[in-house]
Amino acid sequence: MITPTPLMHLVAGVWGFKTLAVGVEFGLFTRLAGGRTVTVAEAAAEFGLDERPADLLLSASASLGLLEKAGDGYRNSALAEQFLVEGRPYYFGAQVRYSDLRTYLPWHRVGEALRGNRPLTWDPQQQDSLFDTTDPELVAQFWDAMFATSRFTARALADAYDFGAHRRLLDVGGGAGAFPIEFCLRLPELRATILDLPHVCVRAGERIAEAGLTDRIGTVAGDFLADPALPDGHDVILLSMILHDWDEPTNRALLARCHAALPPGGVIVISELLLNDERTGPPEAALMGMNMLVETEGGKNYSGAEYRRWLTDAGFVDVRTVPFEAPGANGAVLARRP
Summarised one tens digit per residue, pLDDT across range 293-331 is 999 999 999 999 999 999 999 999 999 999 999 999 999
Bridge partners (DSSP) of residue 146 are none
Confidence of residue 157 (pLDDT cuts 50, 70, 90): very high
CATH of segment(s) 5-83: 1.10.10.10
The reported pLDDT for the residue numbered 125 is 81
Dump the DSSP string for 39-90: EHHHHHHHHT--HHHHHHHHHHHHHTTSEEEETTEEEE-HHHHHHSSTTSTT
Asked about 244 being catalytic, the answer comes back as yes
Check the CA dihedral 26-31-37-43 and report its sign: negative
> How far is the C-alpha of 72 from the C-alpha of 76, rounded, in Å?
14
Residue 140 scores a pLDDT above 80: no
Query: Can you list the alpha helix ranges (DSSP code H) found in 187-278?
Result: 198-210, 248-261
Half-sphere exposure of 212 toward its Cβ, with a 13 Å CA cutoff? 2
**Which residues, including other chains, have CB under 8 Å from residue 307's CB and lie 6 or more apart?**
243, 270, 272, 274, 333
Residue 101 scores a pLDDT above 70: yes
| Across 23-47, average pLDDT | 97
More confident residue, 277 or 141: 277
49: left (phi > 0), else alpha (psi -120 to 50), else beta? Answer: beta
**Which residues, including other chains, have CB under 8 Å from residue 215's CB and lie 6 or more apart?**
none
Confidence of residue 231 (pLDDT cuts 50, 70, 90): very high
331-336/317-323 β-pairing? antiparallel
Amino acid at 5: T
The reported pLDDT for the residue numbered 130 is 64
The reported pLDDT for the residue numbered 297 is 93
State pTM to two decimals.
Answer: 0.94
> How far is the C-alpha of 134 from the C-alpha of 124, rounded, in Å?
15
Of the listed ranges 49-53, 100-104, 250-254, the one predicted with least confidence:
100-104
Mean pLDDT of the chain: 95
Give 93-336's CATH code, choosing from 3.40.30.10, 3.40.50.150, 2.40.50.100, 3.40.630.30: 3.40.50.150
Is the backbone peptide bond immediately before 282 cis, with ω within 30 degrees of 0?
Answer: yes
Catalytic residue among 166, 234, 244, 259: 244
- What's the chain's length in residues? 338
Residue percentage of the chain with pLDDT more than 90: 90
Domain regions of the chain by residue span: 5-83, 93-336
Confidence of residue 127 (pLDDT cuts 50, 70, 90): confident
> How far is the C-alpha of 262 from the C-alpha of 242, rounded, in Å?
18
